Amino acid sequence: MAISDNEKLVKQYFEHFNNHDWTKLSKMYADISEFKDPSLGQGIVKQTRQQIIAKYSELNKIFPDLHDQIIQIYPSGGKHMIVEFVSTGTSPENSKFELPICTIFTIENGLITKDFSYFDNFEEEPTDK
């Protein structure tokens, strides 16, 4: 079974992510892309390539060993790729995190136009008193 261009693009994306090459990663997005990401707030947030670089650079400062491990890629129609992966990292205080994430990428003309990610945002978990 041949690997689609979109699947190659997604695998390249995670390679850039794991190499912490935020400039190359940002160039895989359209000039302005739409994000759904609990860390950016509610609803759809538009981001430029520069904002994408800034976001991941900041995250990388907190977690120098930031790494994503793809669990499964699910192609969906002609322009969507659903990726299930686990993000891990270690903070300077030596606390580790392991976060399962599901992202739906919309790919148009070889560029990511939408990046809708779903995960538990630790900071917003309710605490039982």
Listed by start position, the domains of the chain span 5-120
CA distance 96 to 90: 4
Tell me if 11 sits within 8 A of 5, measured CB to CB. Answer: no
Query: CA-CA distance, 34 to 84, in Å (whole number)?
Result: 19
Which band of pLDDT confidence, cut at 50, 70 and 90, is reported for residue 127?
A: very low
10-50: per-residue pLDDT in tens? 999 999 999 999 999 999 999 999 999 988 888 999 999 99
Which class would CATH give 5-120?
alpha beta
pTM to 2 decimal places:
0.89
Residue 87 corresponds to which tokens in the numbers above? 């993000």
Question: Torsions phi, psi of 128, nearest 5?
Answer: -85, 130
Rounded mean pLDDT of the chain?
A: 91
